[in-house]
Amino acid sequence: MLPLLHLNRNIRTIRRYRSILGVLIKYGFGHFVEQLNIDYYLELGKRIVSLGKKSHDLERLSQAQRLRMAMEELGPTFIKFGQLLSTRPDVLPRDHIEEFSKLQDKVPPVPVSEIKDQIEHELGSPIEQLFAEFQPVPVASASIAQVHSGRLHSGEEVVFKVRRPGIKRVVETDIDILMGLAYLIEQHLPAVAIYDPVNLVREFRRTILREMNFSREGQTINRFAANFAEDPTVYVPHVFWEHTKETVLTLERVHGIKISNLKELQAEGYDLKELARRGADAFLCQVLEHGLFHGDPHPGNIFVMPEHVICMLDYGMVGRLGQGLKDQLIDLLEALLRKDAEQIISSLLYTGELTDDADLRNLRRDLQEFIEDYYDILLQDIKVGRLLAEFIDLLTHYRIHLPADFMLLTKALVAIEGLGRQLDPGFNMIGHLRPWIERLVRERLHPSHLSKEFARVAGAYSALAKTLPHDIKEFLNRINRNQFKIDLEHRGLDRLVTDLDRASNRLSFALIIGALIVGSSLIMQTNIGPLMFGFPLLGILGYSIAGVLGLWLAVGILRSGRL
């Protein structure tokens, strides 16, 4: 079993794997574990659960609630995985999305002595030499990192984001287990396999490993700072690189008011409508201009500084849109704003997100109905976040999968729009978005942009023309040398082979039992050999063995739930 799951052969990994299965079964997902054919671990998991008292309260909870509770019990990796899934409405139903959005990764703080050891080990000097002041009480404590405040010898106030000791090993172990489960899901649960669980886990691995590398987060912060260097309405905290490494990030401490603290903002004389406008502008600039946006813009991560300056904190989760994805997003938003169903379908076909065997007639009909539903709604009443969420629900129904960064963008946009309406009840994201889209469309039609695009396409075709003769020659040579191969993958047959093997084993057991009964019955008629209670001992022994094997077979069939 372990080689199949790509797990390290060590006691700690095996114990963690058993713990995960035990928690899943505890919260009512034993049938899911059984479908994956993890028989040995399933039995062990049942024994683990039977040691504790079962809670009848769980039976009244929904599947989404139970799964959220299981993730919280399983710890940081699964909480982060659930948070990632909460950004994927194309994978999970809405009730699961809403429930996973409640996942919190606030955990008790690590003792300050361990945090100091981590800093000293990473930066190579004692705390007293590194900093003039280090506050032992953490500002925040999460599953991946802990934040403390302090002061440098040069006088700057700073915050230290320190990775929790040992957390990387825990995360890597859990990711191995998640990857193994994802492979099993693809093999045994075809209804779930269409959502590509292996790639989901790979995306999660890439995301969480980047999030745990604070040097990369520092580089990301520098990119945001460079993008907004000429914008006086946005402030990005400074990174102190001499005190920053993979597990320690030292940032300028920003003093301001949380954007959700409306009473304090009003008491200080801030214009809430202006803050809503600047916050929306800053986010749309990140998305549509730079292709690099804050992935978690909740109110706790946004501060207001003097002169209505917006400052975003915590850049661990960010989204990235390359030029191709940005163009695709602009095309889709333009089509939605113009209520053009044909343009939406053309964009999806062009980008390859829509396959040729898709039900285009019904898709076109549903898109038209979707647009008409919003046609008569007043502009100020339309919520862009809700519109995009329903649009993605529609695409999901037709098995159209958009990139993960689009899903993250939708969630972030919902947060920004909600914050804007909290600051200004009359805030209108559609009216705010329209000028951006119109300006970007005009820029794409400008002769300078068209000439650059023409040069790019010409260069691509030129490269293709150079390599095409060689590729054709290599293709023909392979055919001539009988080295041309086509690999075919039979998906979903492993479960069939397992079931056939199990059925043949049960049939063999039944034949052996039948033969023992018939043979023992014949021996009973002969009265040959040693006797017990007046009957041949060999016949009694045969009946006994048949009875034990028959009972074993019956118990196995009953426990499998397949009579």
DSSP string spanning 426-455? Answer: T--HHHHHHHHHHHHHHHHTSHHHHHHHHH
Beta bridge partners of 451: none
B/e letters for 379-414, b = 16+ CB within 10 Å, e = fewer, are: eeeebbbebbbbbbebbbebebbbbbbbbbbbbbbb
Q: Is 304 helix (H, G, I), strand (E, B) or coil?
A: strand
pLDDT of amino acid 42: 45
What is the rounded CA–CA span in Å between residue 310 and residue 294? Answer: 13
- Alpha-carbon gap, residue 431 to 379, rounded angstroms: 7
pLDDT of 108: 82
pLDDT of residue 244: 94
Instruction: Give the CA radius of gyration of the chain.
Output: 31
Phi and psi at 309, nearest 5°, equal -85, 135
Under 8 Å between Cβ of 184 and 37: yes
pLDDT for the residue 561: 54
Q: For residue 47, what pLDDT is reported?
A: 47
Q: Where do we find the tokens 């055919």? A: 479
At 427, list the tokens.
């805030």
- In whole angstroms, what is the distance from residue 190 CA to residue 187 CA? 7
- Beta-bridge partner residues of 145: 163
Of 85, 79, 32, the residue nearest 196 (C-alpha): 85
**What amino acid positions are annotated as catalytic residues?**
296
Averages of pLDDT over runs of 10 residues in the chain (563 residues) are 45 74 83 67 46 58 87 88 80 81 78 92 92 92 90 94 90 87 81 77 88 92 95 95 94 92 92 92 92 88 93 89 82 76 68 57 78 60 68 75 78 85 85 84 80 82 84 81 69 64 78 83 76 76 83 73 54
Strands 145-151 and 157-163: antiparallel
**Confidence (pTM):** 0.73
> What per-residue confidence (pLDDT) applies to 406?
79
User: Domain ranges in the chain?
Assistant: 106-253, 259-445, 452-488, 493-560
